[in-house]
Every structure is written in structure tokens, then in C-alpha cells.
Amino acid sequence: MTAEPHPPLQVQAVAQAAREASRRLATTTSEQRVSVLDRLARQLERQGPAILAANAEDVALASEALEASALQRLKLDGPKLAAMVQGVRAVAALPDPLHRVQLRRELDEGLELTRVACPLGVLCVIFESRPDALVQISALALKSGNAVLLKGGSEAHRSNGALLDCIQTALREAGLPETSVQGLPDRAAVAALLQRPDLVDLVIPRGSNAMVQSIQAATRIPVLGHSEGICHLFLDVAADTVMAVALVRDAKLQYPSACNAVETVLIHRGAAARLLPALVADLAPRGVELRGCRACLALVPALLEATEADWDTEYGTPILALKVVADLDEALAHIRAHGSGHTEAIVTEDQAAAERFLAEVDAAGVFHNASTRFADGFRYGFGAEVGISTGRIHARGPVGIEGLLSYRYLLKGHGHRVEDYSGPAARPFRHADLPLDI
């Protein structure tokens, strides 16, 4: 992670070294990959003081330019470092994702097809502020045999450099190429790589909506992630009042800047007089700015009036839009028009309404009587999270380590020719599935 700008040729050399490292990683044993992660955990512990010192320099330099929340994400301390080490050990302990047989089929006598998991190849990861993201994503990539090109925020330059040193030391000690995880110097290097589908297999941006959108717009390489998280809670006519209030509070306030926090609450007209005052009474004293539609204002005149723009805004702060809808149909239509396909929830005691909502909403997560905040790889039990995808291709919703995998078909024969299975006297295929566990 040097600061000099790299000319395109140098970026290409870096990426080609990553490609070569990825070939080496693809044929490593589980033990070799676990050994790198064990060494990384120890290295992070040993280098703890140096990492914190580098981070303190970053924080001191950035303290005027950054907002308090960004500074908080940038700052490392003992507990964060310990969590980082624990995270690396947790990834090391995951079952080996590589070389797993996903399909095993006898096409005919002596002709056996298997489908085997393999790494994607070279990942390009772009993240902002949080240096811990560097370690987390590198651990996931190495566990799954992928090489990584990393670009962190410039404000975390020293912290990232210290962490990358630990990773490369661990790789070297384990006898694997240091070029398995490399830093990219600047945005120009990222921009150059985004034009090279031959050098990079997957782009993973972790950061603001604007950053993710600009990357999606700039490349034909597959991008894993999401830009917007406009999530809704629909309070049905048959919603329990206490539960509805508790779920709105959790979905809005438990962590307002998360992508799975709620932005708009839709309230069934038949329950608005019951639910809206209860919501206001709970949320207003907690400092939530409430913006309502006309029908809301008619019930609670003290609310601010929402504009059309509110239905399409991801606040990321304790602001909540409220809208009265005629029925479930109008709620579904509003979600179709304004949702971002991330996570949508209904609160109701009416099983039929819940089933319809679960069947009809097209989003990565569709919930009944649960907070949208559950949409998360750790809460889903994936052990570790690569990111949350709102795309439909490859991986959707919270993505665990399997999002970093592809597969290969291996076919073992004894001189089998297609000619014998073609034409009028074609030999038939057997197509018998075999047990996977050998």
C-alpha cells in the first residue's frame, strides 16, 4: 500500500502476480490455508502495538477532516484488535470450502462426472475507513483459495499498511506467495482494473451507496454487493400493537446506519388510528424524526409532512417515514415501486396476509414478525459474511464464504467418444447419481 501512483502497466503486473498466486492457492490443502490464518492471528497479536500506533497516526491526521462516525470506524483499539484476531480464528475453523464434491454422476459405465468446488480466482475489494474489513475479507479469501487486490480508504493508509504487513508475513511463513494479498495504491489503479475482466473475477465494494454505485457503473466485471437498502415494515390491520412498536423501534434504532435498518413504515388504514399514536409515543421521545403522509398528519398533526422524495431515501439516521396504505395490495405496490430488493417485513397475526406477503415480495429477505435487522450473515449462521447482495445472480442476500466459490466439472472416462452416443444407433446414457461422500 504505497502512495506513489502506479502506471497501468504496473497495475497489470500486480494483477498478474495475483492471478499466479491464485493458481497456487487453488491447489493448496486445507491445512496450508488454515496455517496461513493461524499465523495471521498470531502475527496480529504480536504486532498489536505497532498496528495501534499506525492507526493512532491515521486517526490524528484524519481527526479534522472526518465526521465523528467515520472517525469511530477508522479507530482501532484493544477490543477491536482482539475481535479481529478472533474473527480470523473463526474463519480458520470453518469447514474447508474447496474440493467439495457437489455432484457425482455415472454418465455411463466407466464414465464418471463430478462437480467440485473451486475458488473464483482474483477478487478486487474496495473498502472505506474500517481497517478491520481488510483483515476480515482477506481471511475469507484465503480460506477459500482466492487471491485479493485491496484498496482501502486513504485516511486508513498507515493502519492498512500495518495489517497488510501481517498478512504477507503470515503468507511468507506458510510458504505461500505474498502476492496472494496485495494492496492497490490509488483510485487510478482501481479504475484501471475495473476495465480488465480478464484480470479480476469479482469486485467487492464495501462502503457508501455512492461508492458502490460508482463502481457498479464503471465495470463489466461482476460486482457483489448492494448500493441501497431501502427496507420497509408493513404493519397490517391485524398487527399486534406491542409487537409492531417493538419491531419498528428495533428495525429503526438498533443500528440506524445499517443497510438493513427500516426507512419507511407502511400502516394499514384499518389500524392506523391504533398503531400510529403508539409508534409516535414510543419513537418521538427517543429522538426519532417522524415524517408522515397526509393521512398520518390527519391522525397525529404534530408530525412533519413527508414528501415524495422520502419514499426513496435511505436515511441511515434516526429519521423514519410513515405512510398509511389502503390495504396489503397498496403496501405490496409501494414496496415494488420504492424497495431496493434488500429486506421487507410484515407484522401481522393474520396467517393468510403473512403468506401472501412472503410469496409475493421480490426481495433478498422477506420477513414475518421479525426485525429487518436480522438480514445478516452472522445472524443467519454463515459464520462470516462477504457482504449483502441485492443482485439476483450468483448470490443474493447475506453472502457467506460460498459466494467466493465457483466449480469445475471433472469427467473421467476410458476412451469414451460422443460418436457412440449419437445417431440412430446411439448408446443411451445411464445418468445414475452416485453418493457424494467418498
* Distance from C-alpha of 137 to C-alpha of 265, rounded to nearest angstrom: 34
What is the closest distance, in whole angstroms, from the C-beta atom of residue 188 to a copy of itself in the complex? 21
* Distance from C-alpha of 93 to C-alpha of 143, rounded to nearest angstrom: 9
What is the closest distance, in whole angstroms, from the C-beta atom of residue 1 to a copy of itself in the complex? 27
What is the closest distance, in whole angstroms, from the C-beta atom of residue 222 to a copy of itself in the complex? 4
342 within 8 A of 229, measured Cβ to Cβ: yes
- If the CB atoms of residues 5 and 378 are measured against a copy of itself, the closer one turns out to be 378
Q: How many CB atoms lie within 10 A of CB 59?
A: 20
- If the CB atoms of residues 278 and 304 are measured against a copy of itself, the closer one turns out to be 278
Q: Site for a copy of itself (CB under 8 A): which residue of 281, 326, 360, 427? A: 360
* Distance from C-alpha of 370 to C-alpha of 243, rounded to nearest angstrom: 9
Residues 82-141 that bind a copy of itself (CB under 8 A): 105, 107, 111, 113, 118, 120-121
Buried b (16+ CB within 10 A) or exposed e, 80-102: ebeebbebbbbbbebeebbeebe
* Distance from C-alpha of 202 to C-alpha of 342, rounded to nearest angstrom: 20
Binding segment for a copy of itself (CB under 8 A), chosen from 8-16, 71-79, 266-274, 400-408, is 400-408
Q: How many CB atoms lie within 10 A of CB 270?
A: 14
Q: Site for a copy of itself (CB under 8 A): which residue of 381, 424, 428, 435? A: 381
* Distance from C-alpha of 75 to C-alpha of 98, rounded to nearest angstrom: 35
- If the CB atoms of residues 188 and 246 are measured against a copy of itself, the closer one turns out to be 246
Site membership for a copy of itself, residue 71 (CB under 8 A): no
* Interaction pattern, residues 185-224, with a copy of itself; x per rule: CB under 8 A: ----------------xx-------------xx-xx-x--
Residues 255-294 that bind a copy of itself (CB under 8 A): 255
Q: Site for a copy of itself (CB under 8 A): which residue of 363, 384, 386, 399? A: 363
Q: Site for a copy of itself (CB under 8 A): which residue of 281, 392, 427, 436? A: 392
- If the CB atoms of residues 6 and 24 are measured against a copy of itself, the closer one turns out to be 24
Q: Three cell numbers at 294?
A: 397526509
Residue 228: name the closest of 259, 197, 207 by CA. Answer: 259
- If the CB atoms of residues 217 and 352 are measured against a copy of itself, the closer one turns out to be 217
Q: Site for a copy of itself (CB under 8 A): which residue of 161, 185, 365, 387? A: 365
- Contacts of 395 by beta carbon, 8 Å cutoff, 6+ apart: 224, 386, 389, 402, 403
Which amino acid, 89?
A: R
Residue 375: name the closest of 212, 233, 222, 241 by CA. Answer: 233
Tell me phi and psi for residue 429, to 5 degrees: -80, 155
* Distance from C-alpha of 437 to C-alpha of 211, rounded to nearest angstrom: 43
Residues 217-246 that bind a copy of itself (CB under 8 A): 217, 219-220, 222, 240, 242-243, 246
Residues 6-45 that bind a copy of itself (CB under 8 A): 23, 26-27
What is the closest distance, in whole angstroms, from the C-beta atom of residue 41 to a copy of itself in the complex? 23
